[in-house]
Chain A
Amino acid sequence: MTQEDTNVIDQPEVLKPRMVSIEISGKKYEVPEGITVIKALWYTGQEVVRGAGCLGGFCGACATYYRTKDDPKVRTCLACQMAVQDGMSFTIMPPFPARKATYEIQSLKDPKQDLFNLYPEAPLCRNCNACTEACPQKIDVREGVWKAVFGDFKSVSEMFMDCVMCGMCTPVCIADIAPNLVALYVSRAQGAHFTEKPQGLETRIKEIQDGRFDDEWNKVLAMNEKELADHCATVK
């Protein structure tokens, strides 16, 4: 590569990685500083089957507890999104056996009331905020649970759009609530029951059923390759 050196980003840590000491589930290892927690597992020779999914911060498979040097607080992160640092200690969290209610979303009669049948523990939130502190997506989980209980389904669905269902809010809850599952129910109910039907969509479905585009289809599908290419070029 011939490139003026003025266009080079200095990243010495990549060229000559500084090794740091970390602890994985209580055992000590040396790994290059700055790699992600999942890459640290691979680096130490461990195969990852449970604990990796999208590798992009979207699936929540890699829920992890960690602690940094000189800080007693146990924190949470997504292992594919967190860089290791010296003195860090971590453990990937196995899926938590939370209870998911089952329901037929379409046939709910009174979704706001049904919440209390499906998740009777939801109104017992004691406001401890542990769920919010556990959330790697920075969702105000406690607020979400309260809003769900008070029937503000719209706000809940907006607040939890970032939820990757990692489940880290669940084991910390002193009221045995699975806030993410409550929020999922609420969001689906919001979408299926409390959101306007988009009229334009209905119109389009009907137009297709009524054959409004049939003439155009016939014209297009009868074209030879050259005609079709020319026709495509006219679409602006």
Chain B
Amino acid sequence: MDIHALQQIVHKTRDARRKQTIPKFSPADRDALIEKYHPDFRKKAYRPIRFGPNADEQTVIELATLLEGDSPIPENLDMTPHYQTDVLVIGGGGAGCAAALHAHGTGAKVILATKLRLGDSNSVMAQGGMQISVAPEDSPVTHFLDTLKGGHMQNDHALLKVMVEEGPAIARWLIELGVLFDRQSDGNLHVKKGGGSSKPRLLTCSDYTGLEIMRVLKDEVLNQKIQLLEFCAAVELLSNDEGHCTGAIFKDLDNQRLVIVAAKSVILATGGIGRLHIQGFPTSNHYGATGDGLCLSYRMGAKLAHIDTFQYHPSGAVYPEQLIGALVTEGIRSEGGHLVNAKGERFVNELDTRDVVSSSIIRECEESRGIRTMSGRVGVWLDTPLLDAEHGPGTVEKHFPAMMLQFERFGIDISKDPVLIYPTLHYQNGGVKIDTNSETNVKNLFVSGEASGGLHGRNRLMGNSLLDLMVFGKRAGLTAASRAQSMAQGKLTLQHLRRFRAEAKQHGNPSGVISPMVLPAYTRKVS
């Protein structure tokens, strides 16, 4: 059937649905739902990691394989460095830029190396906003409790307390740099309510929050003349005799040359893993989100946390084909957009936490109440025109210009037609375990942003990631810089790699792949 015919059910049932209130799940029902339908609970998708710091712990097969993978670097490589720096930042997203700026601000010499262009990242795509408790009725403690509840009580308390308490100062820093957050008429910051939060707490820049923050941070990195190595992908770290991190090896993607950077401290800010397409899911992530930082840190001996849990954002586009996996911002649900199955019914409180909403969408689809496209994809409707009906014509266009444009390019007007959605692989809840200064158990190796783990527990609340990047990017930058200024450059060796390889060999070199992946293999083999 034609998509417009199928959409009629959404238009027809709209008025009736508007009178409904859907209660949130009780804790018991919610747990049962998640266990049955959330992809994190599909045992077949998991296996134990065979060796290394997290030996015998479960993670998804795709990640386990890469973690056990071999380095592309030969052990007899000439270690004469091409660059020497105090602080080496790896990754040019939000965490990397924040770290570089703060480290540079202390007077340290900083090199920022990144896989593609500066700014190419998940960070530019963040639409929904950034959680900071600025409203009078809100408080850092409430922010803490909401996040803890969202994270299934598994969040690292120390990290979380730091994040919520330093949030407001971070907002001030960004405003001073010229970030234009949305305001109320009295000049105060406008706050929106996000899924799983008890108070309105999301700071937004229209639906371009990440883009606006990144435009400013990128510009600031350039203004400060921080040395950049673009199109350079880290493929191995370096260590001294005591196993401390002393730099990294990059592959220059323009000419495949290996570039060695000696550094007194290293900050990994390489982001997430969406492009591994775990369990076959489409993803909202950028091209370079291949989990490189996890592989690099793991080989070095850094312990990972919560790497058996991922976030599947409830609303990834299912139609048209060109937008598969692309994010349909949670903001639409925050403003009251309904989720509607093929029978025209709502089936979940749209503002429940992401794991709950995703699980219920999967349930609807598995129980044949989804809408299927001929290419075999299935989804449910997100009633976007409802926002215009509810808040007046033009609401969708005014509040979600980025979304409007994205669909308009394919002839779909989301203010008139609902969109078809299904969960998309969105975020890595866990990552490299860090302390409150962003340092790992490997000395002088710092990790911040999505590559780090512990803060979000087993499920991240909307808008907490942007704050995470800025707070722990800053802490990593400041600590790494002050550390570097009081120490000498360590020796550049590949001792950790020798140890890792020996261990792999003991386990029969299980993986057979080279890691990190660097870029996903989308290029078709043409014979």
Interface: B206 (CB within 8 A):
yes
Task: Find out whether the CB atom of B286 lies under 8 angstroms from the CB atom of A105.
Answer: no
Within the assembled complex, what's the spacing in Å between the Cα atoms of A235 and B138?
Answer: 11
**Given known contacts A201-B168, A201-B171, is B524 in contact with A44 (CB within 8 Å)?**
yes
Task: Find out whether the CB atom of A221 lies under 8 angstroms from the CB atom of B216.
Answer: no
Report B184-221 CB contacts with A as 1/0, cut-off 8 Å: 00011100000000100000011010111001101110
Would you list 17 pairs from A and B whose C-beta atoms are within 8 A, ordered by A residue?
Answer: A7-B6, A9-B6, A34-B321, A35-B321, A42-B523, A49-B254, A52-B116, A53-B121, A57-B402, A59-B286, A104-B223, A105-B177, A196-B187, A198-B187, A205-B168, A213-B140, A216-B139
Within the assembled complex, what's the spacing in Å between the Cα atoms of A95 and B120?
Answer: 13
Interface: A91 (CB within 8 A):
no
Interface: A164 (CB within 8 A):
yes
Task: Find out whether the CB atom of B175 lies under 8 angstroms from the CB atom of A191.
Answer: yes
**Given known contacts A35-B322, A56-B326, A137-B405, is B168 in contact with A204 (CB within 8 Å)?**
yes
**Given known contacts A54-B287, A188-B219, A216-B139, is B183 in contact with A198 (CB within 8 Å)?**
yes
Taking a contact as CB atoms closer than 8 A, the residue among B168, B370, B378, B401 that contacts A162 in the complex is B401
Give chain A interface residues in 185-219, CB to chain B under 8 Å.
187-192, 195-205, 208, 213, 216-217
Task: Find out whether the CB atom of A231 lies under 8 angstroms from the CB atom of B145.
Answer: yes
Task: Find out whether the CB atom of A162 lies under 8 angstroms from the CB atom of B405.
Answer: yes
Binds A, one of B72-80, B128-136, B305-313, B488-496: B128-136
Taking a contact as CB atoms closer than 8 A, the residue among A1, A138, A188, A228 that contacts B178 in the complex is A188
Give chain B interface residues in 17-52, CB to chain A under 8 Å.
27
Task: Find out whether the CB atom of A10 lies under 8 angstroms from the CB atom of B188.
Answer: no
Task: Find out whether the CB atom of A164 lies under 8 angstroms from the CB atom of B125.
Answer: no
Binds A, one of B54-62, B146-154, B498-506: B146-154
Give chain B interface residues in 361-401, CB to chain A under 8 Å.
368, 370-375, 378, 401
Taking CB atoms, residues of chain B closer than 8 Å to A43 are 524
A1, A34, A203: most-surrounded residue (chain B CB, <10 A): A1
Taking CB atoms, residues of chain B closer than 8 Å to A203 are 136
Interface: B410 (CB within 8 A):
yes
Nearest CB of B to A50, in Å: 7
Within the assembled complex, what's the spacing in Å between the Cα atoms of A225 and B155?
Answer: 12
Nearest CB of A to B40, in Å: 20
Task: Find out whether the CB atom of B372 lies under 8 angstroms from the CB atom of A7.
Answer: yes
Interface: A103 (CB within 8 A):
yes
Taking CB atoms, residues of chain A closer than 8 Å to B525 are 45
Binds B, one of A11-19, A126-134, A144-152, A171-179: A11-19
Interface: A110 (CB within 8 A):
no
Within the assembled complex, what's the spacing in Å between the Cα atoms of A93 and B485?
Answer: 42
Taking a contact as CB atoms closer than 8 A, the residue among A7, A53, A187, A216 that contacts B116 in the complex is A53
Within the assembled complex, what's the spacing in Å between the Cα atoms of A53 and B121?
Answer: 7
Going nearest first, the 7 A-B pairs with the smallest beta carbon separation are A188-B178, A53-B120, A45-B526, A191-B178, A196-B187, A14-B375, A11-B374
**B residues in contact (CB < 8 Å) with A:** 1-3, 6, 27, 116-117, 119-122, 124-125, 133-136, 139-142, 144-146, 148-149, 153, 157, 161, 165, 168-169, 171-172, 175-180, 183, 187-189, 198, 205-206, 208, 210-212, 215-216, 218-220, 222-223, 225, 231, 253-254, 284, 286-288, 319-322, 326-327, 342, 368, 370-375, 378, 401-402, 405-406, 409-410, 420, 519, 522-526
Name the residue of chain B whose CB is nearest to the CB of A2: B368
Nearest CB of B to A22, in Å: 15
**A residues in contact (CB < 8 Å) with B:** 1-4, 6-12, 14-15, 34-36, 39, 42-50, 52-59, 61, 81-83, 95, 100, 102-106, 137-138, 157, 161-165, 184, 187-192, 195-205, 208, 213, 216-217, 220-221, 225, 228-229, 231-233, 235-236
Nearest CB of A to B133, in Å: 7
Taking a contact as CB atoms closer than 8 A, the residue among A9, A47, A57, A192 that contacts B373 in the complex is A9
Taking CB atoms, residues of chain B closer than 8 Å to A11 are 319, 321, 373-375
Within the assembled complex, what's the spacing in Å between the Cα atoms of A191 and B188?
Answer: 13
Task: Find out whether the CB atom of B145 lies under 8 angstroms from the CB atom of A201.
Answer: no
Nearest CB of A to B400, in Å: 12
Taking a contact as CB atoms closer than 8 A, the residue among A34, A191, A208 that contacts B168 in the complex is A208
Taking a contact as CB atoms closer than 8 A, the residue among A59, A161, A196 that contacts B212 in the complex is A161
Nearest CB of A to B280, in Å: 15
Taking a contact as CB atoms closer than 8 A, the residue among A50, A58, A189, A208 that contacts B165 in the complex is A208
Within the assembled complex, what's the spacing in Å between the Cα atoms of A102 and B219?
Answer: 9
Nearest CB of B to A226, in Å: 10
Task: Find out whether the CB atom of A54 lies under 8 angstroms from the CB atom of B121.
Answer: yes
Task: Find out whether the CB atom of A55 lies under 8 angstroms from the CB atom of B287.
Answer: yes
A15, A138, A200: most-surrounded residue (chain B CB, <10 A): A200
Within the assembled complex, what's the spacing in Å between the Cα atoms of A161 and B253?
Answer: 31
Nearest CB of B to A4, in Å: 7
Name the residue of chain B whose CB is nearest to the CB of A164: B211
Task: Find out whether the CB atom of B153 lies under 8 angstroms from the CB atom of A195.
Answer: no
Name the residue of chain B whose CB is nearest to the CB of A154: B180
Task: Find out whether the CB atom of B370 lies under 8 angstroms from the CB atom of A188.
Answer: no
Name the residue of chain A whose CB is nearest to the CB of B218: A165
Task: Find out whether the CB atom of B145 lies under 8 angstroms from the CB atom of A235.
Answer: yes
Task: Find out whether the CB atom of A191 lies under 8 angstroms from the CB atom of B116.
Answer: no
Taking CB atoms, residues of chain B closer than 8 Å to A138 are 405
